[in-house]
Structure 1
Amino acid sequence: MLTFMQLIIISGLSGSGKSIALNMLEDADYYCVDNMPSQLLQQLVDQLAQQGYDKVAVAIDIRGGKSIAMLPQQLASLRANELDLQFLFLDAKTETLLKRYSETRRRHPLADEQRTVTEAIAEERDRLEGLSELGHHIDTSDLKPSALREWVRQFISTETRRGLTLIFESFGFKHGVPLDAELVFDVRCLPNPHYEQALRPLTGRDTPVITFLEAEPDVLNMRDDIARFIDTWLPCYIRDNRNYLTVGIGCTGGQHRSVYFAECLGRKFRDQARVLVRHRELPSIPTGNP
């Protein structure tokens, strides 16, 4: 007898943290399979379902060779059978991947005597183009392993309920724009608490910083303008049958202004969608209403 199964497919660039994500899922009682060729996915799912497995996670990436091109078709086929399937794509900036390969001294799957690591990463991006749009996209470039584990934990928590999950992610422009953000707002033009000695060690979650920012009319106007924009267009994203919409809010360092905006917007929209609030440059603290 076939059993109901929750299936999570993980893909992404080599070195982006798929092993960390898979280990997190294994700790959450998922039966995990790494380096599965795409053409064997349906066979694996059928066999595990017959054996009674109800929580399964499978990593499929460039190590499976050219079969990775079949993955979109495989996902569509599984979803057509009303399988509870979720897709997680991990990404990272090229310079971050190069640093990770240098530190670990591991070989990129596509690197050889004729192809440098940089060229291998570029070819892998080309082969995986479009996969990030099939599900939830996480940029791991500036994430510590503990933060990535927390973000994956949030991912599996929100998947217990259907509909769109709205993610507000604060970040610092000096560390780069998140690759996973569909909408990005720049709040660097606003007064910066960093230049107030007493506020410098605090964050946008602390009352003195909030008081400082909310005393500035421009802060309140921009906060309301961003909220109005999202409020106007959120129904369109919901009608598009998206599972996730990530809104990036950036300031210079990602500690004060962007954190304040992400927290405020998260509170405002909790009655309209499932909300996660993430602060890329701060220690990982679970926030949201999964």
Structure 2
Amino acid sequence: MGKIDDALRKLQKQGAATRKTGNGKGKPTNRRLPESVIPIARKKKVEIDGVKHHLDEEELIHKGLLAPLDQAIPVADEFRRIKRPLIDNALKQGEDHVDHMNLIMVASPLPGAGKTFCSVNLAASISLERELNVLLVDADVAKPHISDAFGLTDRPGLIDILEDETMSIEEVLVRTDLNDIQVLPAGRKHSQSTELLASERMEEVMHELATRYADRLIVLDSPPLMVTSEAQALATQVGQIALVVECGKTTSQEIQEALELLDTDKAINMILNKSLYSQTSGYYGGGYGYGTYGFNEEQ
């Protein structure tokens, strides 16, 4: 437990240091979270054909998937830091390279830690990279919060392409106007979703997502690890795992139990969420202090 406690204390210390270096004024910005951090000069990415699915950012703020406008810039800055080791791992080459490092699963030990908020904002931040694209996958098939908030519950998605092998990934991808992020919805609910996520077809789909586009990172919003068996099945398919823990609530024991469900060969990072609470915000993330460190229990 000592290593976990030390890691949490380190995250808390770094989160506090990061907040001290911010502007500290809390003034509202007249731009949304993604727009507020778009670089002035940026290499043009390959355009994706198709009509963009409109996302109402005010509604996403209300549903807790984007930060309120007065916190957009500090939250964006935090996710800049969070994404960097994940991107570095994804682009790493050499003997220590692990397959599918561009598949990043965002999970939490238990519900309520803010993993979906982190998934959406991580994807939004990665999409601002000059030479990278991002795909956001709603893999929380039991409670598809992303599909619901994005208005995609009636669209075919991950479960559908797992059950119907004649259906291609391209048929179900949705391009949004949130930084051109593409989304793979959860699809329809299925009584055998765990078996589908652990199937050979899932391996094929994940391999195609990981290898088809060299410049694409895939962020998968996972179910909580200790609540459903789907998360454990999903964890076997990815190269990286970002474990979201809730400051002041997630216990060391819960973190330990969650880690025991994961392959220790995976690249595991922890995101300390809700480390600074808002008195007025009701959004899902619930706070503005975020931090991440490369974390592996063997280290």
- Fold in common (TM above 0.5): no
TM-score normalised by length of structure 1: 0.35
More strand by share: 1
Q: Which of the two has higher C-alpha Rg?
A: 1
Higher relative contact order (CA 8 A, sep 6+): 2
